[in-house]
Structure 1
Amino acid sequence: MKRALISVSDKTGVVDFAKELINLEFEILSTGGTKKILEENNLPVTAVDEVTGFPEILEGRVKTLHPFIHGGLLAKKNDPSHMAQLDKQGIKGIDVVCVNLYPFQKTIEKPGVTVEEAIENIDIGGPAMLRASAKNHESVVVIVDAADYGQVLNELRSNEDVSLETRRKLAAKVYRHTAAYDALIAEYMTNLVGEEQPERMTFTYELKQSLRYGENPHQKASFYEKPLGSKFSIAHAKQLHGKELSFNNIRDADAALQIVKEFDKPAAVAVKHMNPCGVGTGENAADAFSKAYEADPTSIFGGIIAFNREVDESAAKILKEIFLEIIIAPSFTEEALNILTAKKNIRLLTVSFDEKNTPEKVLTSIEGGLLVQDQDALGLADAELTFPTKRKPTEEEIAALKLAWKVVKHVKSNAIVVADEAMTLGVGAGQMNRVGAAKIAIEQAGERARGAVLASDAFFPMSDTVEEAAKAGITAIIQPGGSIRDEDSIKAADEHGIAMVFTGVRHFKH
């Protein structure tokens, strides 16, 4: 009689799976809770300690770590010497192993979980059995996912065996599973001891969505989400309506959400190709969007819009008149949904703004390597502002400078933003020199630049940007400062009566 060892934390489908194996003349070995549930369903089960002749000890920490189990898992059935050794030691082979692991992730997700509780939920015997069986997959069918029960049973019914191709696919899944499990434990323990630059970085992600293609149609792509990742994210957004998200949609939606997070008052952010093309604030969503649209009515076409307030009927009536790819908001009223879902393809996403925004490590892949850095979560509240010019900014200018600084942080460098206290007026993004970015932002603002303010993501290496701002009628500038030629910019600002603020904080974004 063939034997199957079943020991699972996730009991989904396990009773039916065991019942079918018994019908196929398998003997079932089991432990603990799995054994109990099988017996409650009147299925014949052999306890593992009956096989080992040794009781579970140390509160169940040691039960399957025994030669009578691992000998049966690791013996190569096509090797006569292996089989002779089993026979000599009185060890029986194991043909199918169905194991999944202690719920470590669910444990550490619980509020207030103790270190002791987390450590107790680090599985030892389970990964050992899975890795042993996966190594010996030509002799042992190993299953870690209930979704694979059907495939294994179908092959056993049809062929009285499982194909080598299926065995290898199952073994590969096992190693992905145990690697991910260990990666979560490694991350937890690394954070626990406060190690900021471990000698090895281990990350794990779970497939959320297969994408039609990547940035371009000839590139394959997938969307993965981080276990225990930030809930205040596009990865945890709920799609209410519209076509499947594309690779570019997801990146742009993430960019829009990161910007709108910066604002406490009602705000709307329009993004194209990872850069904001219009940001507006107001009394409500409709008011904020009207200003974002006014900021750049050309670029907003086909854009991604993010709100930090519920989208109501009045906002929806404005939004429906414009071609937009995605609208993101904390919620939509029923009236707004009725209006917007009339547009077949527009994607409507909700994100929980009630979730705490927990900064995560930012990963940037390069060929052959990975760059890891902290998220740029520094805001003006963290900066020590200084006022080097003779004229100090007015309250109205301070309000406008704050808005511009929140936005320029998210614009590709070199970056310049022109704004007033309610909205962006011009955005200069991704230029090879700063004065070029300033010219683009000022040209876009046009006459609206007169009396507006300007923000720069990094310091001015010379006074030319200030000169361009003065010609356009800019009255105040916010920038990090720190150039060896700061005095040139300060002098130019004083000559034109421009108030300048130094933040001491740079916001490069590549």
Structure 2
Amino acid sequence: MANEMQLKYGCNPNQKPSRIFMADGSELPIEVLNGKPGYINLLDAFNGWQLVKELKKATGLCAATSFKHVSPAGAAVGKPLSDTLKKIYWVDDLGELSPLACAYARARGADRMSSYGDFIALSDVCDVCTAKMIQREVSDGVIAPGYTDEALEILKSKRKGTYNIIKIDESYVPAPIERKQVYGVTFEQGRNELDINTELLANIVTDNKNIPDDKKNDLLISLITLKYTQSNSVCYVKDGQAIGIGAGQQSRIHCTRLAGQKADNWWLRQNPKVMALPFKADVRRADRDNAIDVYIGDEYEDVLRDGEWQKVFTEKPEVLTVEEKKAWIAKNTDVCLGSDAFFPFGDNIERAHKSGVKYIAQPGGSIRDDNVIETCNKYDIAMAFTGIRLFHH
């Protein structure tokens, strides 16, 4: 390992020179095994690694995340997949999946539109099953603590041999103080070393005080994901995986709506009509994802009009009506929701309820906390005040 790495350019091609380096003279904690990762790739890699490392520590399960532009599009732990999830994640032809492969299938599958061209982080040594899954997805690179020999060879064959493969020293501990420059001014702060655990969920302020252990796990996944998501942000989680992340919005209600729509889309992909869409055999996964996204949205005519549906389907599908969508979304229940800062008004709870939210973790501290709690009580939602803000910039 070296002390520095020269990069082709920074965020944009005109931003030269560019490099990463260790200011204290020590060696970089990474080794590039293949490819030439760029500036944004490495930002995604280091943020993603922290996320999966903390998910594994908090849950005891292997973890994966799919990063795009310094925010996660998805994050998950390695719980087995149902036959339905295998089908909507396009992995039902891969046979038995390892826990790590399940984690990545979930992380990638939560929001496949946003995960297109992602940078992947894995908490554990990449195995052959996970490598084969990554091999056929459009992705910029992967970071992990190691790779089996066969997995490494599979990944090296990707993108005509240029796929970015990074090995990180999992024993590396960064300095307690971090710095960044903006407009020539250096900013300094202590690293956010907050240990996110179930103790943060002890202060349940609603009438409903019951948060089962598996839902506490989901709330931890939500909060840890938010710790590495550009603020403002909220995260919907179900059964060990993020299903909707609303990142980088100035308004919290817009975060809640954005993430809620993503969660609804994830659930709508499991609707029998959607799962039975008659795709042509030669339509690629990315094009199927795009067609599904349009089909379940408000602009469904863009994929169903004459001259368009013939490009992807063998026959014209029936419309998934507004009434059908509402009825299907109403079946999604027991969803968990985390927020990186307090909900200022009850409207966030109203929107979350529409996407099946039953459990919430947020800092609290709004002058309208009473209104937020009252709205939760109206829907029998259990909400914990963590007392901790999780802004990330």
Q: Please, what TM-score do these two structures have when normalized by structure 2? A: 0.72
Count of residue correspondences: 300
Over aligned residue pairs, what C-alpha RMSD do you find? 1.9
Post-superposition Cα deviations, 1:24-72, rounded to whole Å, max 9, x if no partner, equal: xxxxxxxxxxxxxxxxxxxxxxxxxxxxxxxxxxxxxxxxxxxxxxxxx
Is the contact between residue 268 and residue 288 of structure 1 (CA under 8 Å) also seen in structure 2? yes
1:209 and 1:357, CA in 2 relative to 1: closer, same or farther beyond 3 A? closer
Matched ranges for 1:228-377 at <5 A: 228=24, 235-242=28-35, 244-264=36-56, 265-282=61-78, 284-343=99-158, 344-353=161-170, 355-377=171-193
Letter of the aligned partner of 2:259 in structure 1?
A
Residue in structure 2 matching 1:472, options 319, 342, 355:
355
Partner of 2:345: 462
Letter of the aligned partner of 1:470 in structure 2?
H
- What is the alpha-carbon distance in structure 2 between the residues aligned to residue 230 and residue 500 of structure 1? 45
Q: Secondary structure at the match of 1:223?
A: strand
- What is the alpha-carbon distance in structure 1 between the residues aligned to residue 15 and residue 34 of structure 2? 26
Q: Which runs of 5+ in 2 are unaligned?
A: 80-98, 268-331
Post-superposition Cα deviations, 1:168-219, rounded to whole Å, max 9, x if no partner, equal: xxxxxxxxxxxxxxxxxxxxxxxxxxxxxxxxxxxxxx96122221111111
The structural deviation recorded for 1:414 is: 0.8
Is the contact between residue 359 and residue 377 of structure 1 (CA under 8 Å) also seen in structure 2? no
Is the contact between residue 128 and residue 150 of structure 2 (CA under 8 Å) also seen in structure 1? yes
- What is the alpha-carbon distance in structure 2 between the residues aligned to residue 227 and residue 338 of structure 1? 33
- What is the alpha-carbon distance in structure 2 between the residues aligned to residue 221 and residue 398 of structure 1? 46
Matched ranges for 1:14-413 at <5 A: 208-228=4-24, 235-242=28-35, 244-264=36-56, 265-282=61-78, 284-343=99-158, 344-353=161-170, 355-381=171-197, 383=200, 385-392=202-209, 393-413=211-231
The structural deviation recorded for 1:359 is: 4.8
The structural deviation recorded for 1:230 is: 8.3
The structural deviation recorded for 1:229 is: 7.6
1:320 and 1:256, CA in 2 relative to 1: closer, same or farther beyond 3 A? same
Q: Secondary structure at the match of 1:399?
A: helix
Q: Secondary structure at the match of 2:390?
A: coil
- Structure ID, larger Rg: 1
Is the contact between residue 455 and residue 479 of structure 1 (CA under 8 Å) also seen in structure 2? yes
Sequence identity of aligned pairs in percent? 32
Q: Secondary structure at the match of 2:114?
A: coil
Partner of 1:186: none
The structural deviation recorded for 1:394 is: 2.0
Q: Which runs of 5+ in 1 are unaligned?
A: 1-205
Q: Secondary structure at the match of 2:33?
A: strand
- What is the alpha-carbon distance in structure 2 between the residues aligned to residue 397 and residue 456 of structure 1? 15
Counterpart check, 1:416 vs 2:234 = yes
Partner of 1:113: none
1:361 and 1:315, CA in 2 relative to 1: closer, same or farther beyond 3 A? same
Residue in structure 1 matching 2:372, options 482, 489, 493:
489
Q: Secondary structure at the match of 1:263?
A: helix
Letter of the aligned partner of 2:217 in structure 1?
A
- What is the alpha-carbon distance in structure 2 between the residues aligned to residue 337 and residue 414 of structure 1? 37
Partner of 2:291: none
The structural deviation recorded for 1:337 is: 1.5
Partner of 2:261: 443
